[in-house]
Amino acid sequence: MKRIPCLIFTLCLLASGSIWAENTDGQSAANTSTELQPISFAQWDGILEKQLGKITVVDFWAAWCSPCIERFPHMVEMHHKYKDRGVRFISLNLDEQGDKESIDWANDFLERIKAVFPNYHMDENMTEAFERLDLLGLPAVRIYATDGTETHRLSGDNPYQQFTEKDVENAVQNLLIQ
């Protein structure tokens, strides 16, 4: 059931004949800033569409999520390890819309750990964001192959199937050797 929205999204992209391209503006911004960029649902769809040609790792997180904060430095490590091998890292922050206190904290955190890849803040109602993105909890990681297909959906949604940072790295390595 939970894969249906993803499937529909992928099919819509294929049907529309969208051509994903390198987001050169986003790339240059990523190299110079760690600051969260507020985005809407429509903008988020556009950002995903622009990653075609790269393996893309998306980390969903929030300042209120302790495991997210604990795991985030691993994303930064992986970014440095794989950035020159065609792997793109993106974070999507899901703190409350208009919650300046949390967003300021998140920006300080991103700067402190030098998260020099594109960091976005979903500037939408949180309930709608979790529904629209088909998220139950955080942290969650989704990985997309070079053709835009979602290949891995890692989350804590099943108590019998939790994920670790190692699972994220294994998934990236598996995609790289394909």
Partner 1 sequence: MRFFKLIVPVLLTALLIAPAATIAGEYNMVMSIGDPLPVFENTPTTDGGTLSSADLEESVVVLVSLANHCPWVRGMDAGLVELVEQFKGQDVRVVGFAVNHRDDDRLPAMKEHALMSGYNFTYMYDESQDLGRKLGATRTPEYFVFNADRKLVYMGLLTNSPARKTRSGEISFINGDPVAFHVANAIAATLAGEAVDPAETRAHGCTLEYE
Footprint of partner 1 on this chain (CB under 8 A)? Answer: 1, 64-67, 96, 99, 101-102, 105, 125-127, 130-131, 136-139, 156-160, 162
Choice between 40 and 162, CB closer to partner 1 = 162
Nearer CB in complex with partner 1: 67/86: 67
**What is residue 36's three-state secondary structure?**
coil
Residue closer to partner 1, measured from CB, 99 or 111: 99
Whichever of 125 and 149 has its CB closer to partner 1, that residue is 125
Q: CB of residue 52 vs partner 1: minimum separation in angstroms?
A: 28
29, 32, 115: which is closest to 79 by C-alpha?
A: 115
DSSP H stretches of helix in the chain? 4-16, 24-32, 41-49, 66-82, 100-112, 126-132, 165-177
What is the closest distance, in whole angstroms, from the C-beta atom of residue 1 to partner 1 in the complex?
5
> Minimal CA–CA distance to 62: which of 142, 117, 134, 120?
120
Structure tokens at 125: 């109602």
